[in-house]
């Protein structure tokens, strides 16, 4: 065989191997994305008013993932969009995840966040308010009166309000869920069902949207609710990009809730 023909044959074989390897690798990494998101992946209508100022309410013994899960997703959104975060509580003292002493197994293990604002001097503007749950939502009423009053007074001016887990209890006590569809933590359902004036509490729901009100089931469900909310506000491509960077497999079915069955609801 002539040398030139032999070289052509070898090159063709090499090219085939390269194409096969690249194709297989591309298929395996079909969902991979850059570690730092680039420009927005979805064109937003010029008439759409995107939220800018985000608030997160804190109280003692909040559930860590209720706060940090949504915030981690929003940290990534902040790389593409100009947004501001405001942490709000009754004082400017650090707010801890630590539960009341009667519930601690002789441990010294908790996290704390320093608020940026208190209810007396709140942010001048809020577009979105996140309300976490946690053991702290079971606190005696006087301890949460300021939180509930702030939710009640702030809600009418918000674009959206999002609760995670038993954060929906505070929304209900503030009157935000009157006549609305909502959900909450399934393990704590006994404390949920009687709250709100005409609230339709949905047992089998990972999250529920009713107008500009979003409520999620327990703890990790807040991440699915937040990503669904991101999809509604910023676009599905942005939500998928955020989830992929987090290496988080989204639950896309809002009605999927095995924990409702687990707890006999």
The pLDDT value recorded for residue 102 is 65
| Strand 213-216, strand 207-210: pairing | antiparallel
The tokens describing 111, both together, are: 């996290």
- Beta-bridged to residue 162, according to DSSP, are 130, 214
Cα–Cα distance between 45 and 253 in angstroms, integer?
Answer: 26
Sign of CA dihedral 64, 69, 74, 76: positive
The pLDDT value recorded for residue 12 is 42
Scanning the structure block, which residue is given the tokens 């990494």?
Answer: 29
The pLDDT value recorded for residue 121 is 98
The pLDDT value recorded for residue 19 is 32
Nearest to 216 by CA among 164, 162, 160: 164
The pLDDT value recorded for residue 108 is 87
Q: Is 116 exposed, middle or buried (0-12, 13-18, 19+ CB in 10 A)?
A: middle
Nearest to 230 by CA among 240, 217, 216, 219: 240
DSSP string computed for 179-196: T-EE---STTGGGTTT-S
Helix, strand and coil content of the chain, in percent to the nearest 5, comes to 40, 15, 45
pLDDT 10s digits, 18-63: 333 333 333 333 333 333 333 343 434 433 699 999 999 999 999 9
Cα–Cα distance between 180 and 108 in angstroms, integer?
Answer: 40
E strand residue ranges, the chain: 53-57, 84-89, 95-96, 112-113, 117-118, 128-131, 160-163, 181-182, 200-201, 207-210, 213-216
Q: What is the mean pLDDT of residues 215-223?
A: 97
Residue 4 has pLDDT above 60, yes or no: no
Q: What's this model's pTM, rounded to 2 decimal places?
A: 0.82
The tokens describing 58, both together, are: 């804190």
DSSP string computed for 37-81: --S-SSPPPTT-----EEEEE--TT--HHHHHHHHHHHHHHTTTS
Q: Give the HSE-up count for residue 252: Cα atoms under 13 Å, Cβ half-sphere.
A: 6
The tokens describing 202, both together, are: 């949905």
The pLDDT value recorded for residue 25 is 37
> Which structural domains are found in the chain, ordered by start?
53-262 (3.40.50.880)
User: Quick one: pLDDT band at residue 73, thresholds 50, 70, 90?
Assistant: very high
């Amino acid at each position: 065989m002539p040398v030139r023909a032999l070289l052509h044959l070898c090159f063709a074989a090499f090219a085939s191997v390269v194409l096969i390897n690249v194709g297989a690798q591309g298929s395996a990494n079909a969902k991979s994305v850059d570690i730092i998101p680039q420009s927005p992946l979805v064109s937003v209508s010029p008439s759409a008013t995107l939220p800018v100022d985000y608030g997160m309410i804190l109280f003692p013994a909040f559930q860590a993932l209720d706060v940090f899960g949504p915030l981690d997703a929003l940290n990534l959104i902040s790389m593409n969009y100009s947004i501001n975060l405001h942490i709000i509580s009754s004082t400017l003292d650090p707010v801890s995840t630590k539960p009341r002493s009667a519930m601690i197994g002789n441990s010294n293990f908790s996290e704390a966040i320093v608020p940026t604002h208190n209810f007396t001097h709140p942010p001048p503007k809020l577009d979105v308010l996140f309300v976490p749950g946690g053991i702290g939502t079971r606190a005696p009423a006087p301890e949460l009166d300021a939180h509930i009053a702030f939710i009640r007074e702030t809600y009418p001016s918000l674009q959206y309000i999002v609760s995670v887990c038993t954060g929906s209890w505070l929304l209900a006590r503030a009157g935000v869920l009157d006549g609305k569809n909502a959900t909450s933590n399934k393990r704590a359902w006994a404390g949920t069902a009687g709250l709100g004036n005409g609230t339709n509490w949905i047992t089998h729901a990972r999250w529920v949207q009713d107008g500009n009100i979003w409520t999620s089931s327990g703890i990790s469900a807040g991440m699915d609710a937040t990503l669904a909310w991101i999809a509604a506000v910023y676009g599905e491509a942005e939500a998928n990009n955020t989830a992929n960077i987090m290496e988080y497999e989204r639950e896309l079915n809002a009605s999927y809730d095995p924990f409702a069955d687990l707890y006999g609801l």
